[in-house]
Structure 1
């Protein structure tokens, strides 16, 4: 079943007043654009976003038969997220899970499953984010109605090809970035809007987990409320810059970084033509696709320059924890 059919079936059987997104690490971050979309566009439908184990230990009392829980795990085996599915169902919620692994524990504990790609190409790595966002759009449109539904569908039709082309075009810039940053011991990452947790996963997963680099992440709008005090000449920053309503927030942070000669790498959706392909009224929600695809190339080049494969781990999957 596709997202539209799944939501049609759910809302035909129950009244839905809340959507809760649950995952861990990069999968949690991949759900954020959908949650952000509902926060921005829904008038009555509530949205929440949890790391899975907090959902398990501190399940909101509002989670009940009127709740749809959307969970995600790439391999479908993340123990905390599998447990979250069970917690959600015990509370009466309907669970829709996103994974690439057929018959995985996550799939077996969900009411509905959508299988996505990942390894095929850069566009496939975005399918989890895309399906979550499609589910959110369908929930809003079928429950409240959504004026820009057709524009979102146009965006979905175009974004994967655009993101793939953008990633393929990023190689030269990515190599320059890798050479500039390969000897850093730590890198800060920030963004805003729907891309806020793209910055989070870039920091937590690509930098800390996959490169063993010290890293911190914060919203571009919060930069001036604490983090900017560490700015100095050659302090390394990555700014994932949005094309849309929050661009001025990112631009303000960039101006400060440049003012004090911080070592700044900007990855900008505007440079890859996002606004010339996606309708303006829904532009904000498609930034994460381009930024995620492009920065994956940057991460691959950094890993190569540092001779530290993205697959290398010290603890993950090797110890009991």
Structure 2
């Protein structure tokens, strides 16, 4: 196990936000990253889209941010840039650009001494290796930061409810994953020879679907995986559904559950091979009120999916760390 760090505490997040919001005229909270780090910022962006009245938000891949500066990138913007190890060159450049453009820059990383932090005004540190809950620690700390920013800038009616959810979600994740190994082993055996798996979800969990498809499947297992939003499935992609077509569906507990359930009904109707990971099975409602539960689906599903990915890697004899190009090529 690599050396672990402690995630920035809620009190530290609150102090950070208090310092940031002393500045008047903040109008944008934007999120920037690459790969898995970008997808792990998605729930915070989704949260602000749903809850903010005036605070603007955006989610951008780092090199597009670097080469196509958005007009919001000035003194009125807080820009959150994430990279697990803090070494992603495009994200390092994004922190520098955001700083030079006058933005308040918040770096998010597992390594507080990384180059990512050099041009940042503030640093959110997250753990990663301790437990399955820490696989979602980046998402959680950025969501905490976003809730504090929203509350400070314009107020947030469900602030107390979301604090209760933050306090309990790690235990829900770690307890939930204890029961999933048999289902994960079954999934691994069923899908081990597939060269393509469609990945589907909605709401805040669409970022987790994107991450699963692009990184756990394509990057780490070399399995092609188109990612589909449940709301878009019936507007083109459902034509690919046939007897035996492999799907992985993340079901949400919350407002967009109907979208996921509609997809599942169709997949079953036409005898597709579908595995469902349903957030409702893991007791989210024990810590999450209906007003905030949508934003915590991706955290529990991230933890559970990690078990599924580990079991798939075992039966395929393809470690999650195996790469063709990453870490092996200097110029790309």
TM class by smaller structure: over 0.9
The residue matched to 2:292 in structure 1 has which SS?
helix
Measured in 1, the distance between the counterparts of 2:318 and 2:33 equals 27
User: Could you say which residue in structure 2 is the equivalent of 1:232?
Assistant: 242
Could you tell me the TM-score, scaled by structure 2's length?
0.95
Could you tell me the TM-score, scaled by structure 1's length?
0.99
* Per-residue deviation, 1:127: 1.0
Where do 1:11-90 residues align within 5 Å? 11-90=21-100
Where do 1:1-321 residues align within 5 Å? 2-319=12-329, 320-321=331-332
The residue matched to 1:186 in structure 2 has which SS?
coil
Q: Deviation digits for residues 159-205 of structure 1, max 9, x if unmatched? A: 01101111222111100100111111110101000001100000000
- Relative to its length, the structure with more helix (as a share) is 1
Measured in 1, the distance between the counterparts of 2:311 and 2:278 equals 18
Q: Deviation digits for residues 243-262 of structure 1, max 9, x if unmatched? A: 00000000000001000000
Structure 2 gap ranges (5+): 1-7
Measured in 1, the distance between the counterparts of 2:156 and 2:214 equals 34
Measured in 2, the distance between the counterparts of 1:148 and 1:78 equals 35
The residue matched to 2:274 in structure 1 has which SS?
strand
Measured in 1, the distance between the counterparts of 2:321 and 2:230 equals 29
* Per-residue deviation, 1:109: 1.9
2:112 and 2:123 in contact (8 A); partners too: no
2:47 and 2:204 in contact (8 A); partners too: yes
* Per-residue deviation, 1:284: 0.4
Q: Deviation digits for residues 222-258 of structure 1, max 9, x if unmatched? A: 0001111100011000001100000000000000100
* Per-residue deviation, 1:295: 0.4
Structure 1 gap ranges (5+): none
2:230 and 2:260 in contact (8 A); partners too: yes
The residue matched to 1:308 in structure 2 has which SS?
coil
* Per-residue deviation, 1:91: 1.1
* Per-residue deviation, 1:13: 2.6
Measured in 2, the distance between the counterparts of 1:34 and 1:85 equals 19
* Per-residue deviation, 1:99: 0.4
Measured in 2, the distance between the counterparts of 1:109 and 1:229 equals 48
Q: Which moved more, 1:166-175 or 1:152-161?
A: 166-175
Measured in 1, the distance between the counterparts of 2:177 and 2:59 equals 28
The residue matched to 1:215 in structure 2 has which SS?
coil
* Per-residue deviation, 1:276: 3.0
Measured in 2, the distance between the counterparts of 1:106 and 1:14 equals 26
- How many residues are paired up? 321
* Per-residue deviation, 1:273: 1.4
The residue matched to 1:134 in structure 2 has which SS?
helix
Note the aligned Cα RMSD (angstroms).
0.9
Measured in 1, the distance between the counterparts of 2:299 and 2:48 equals 17
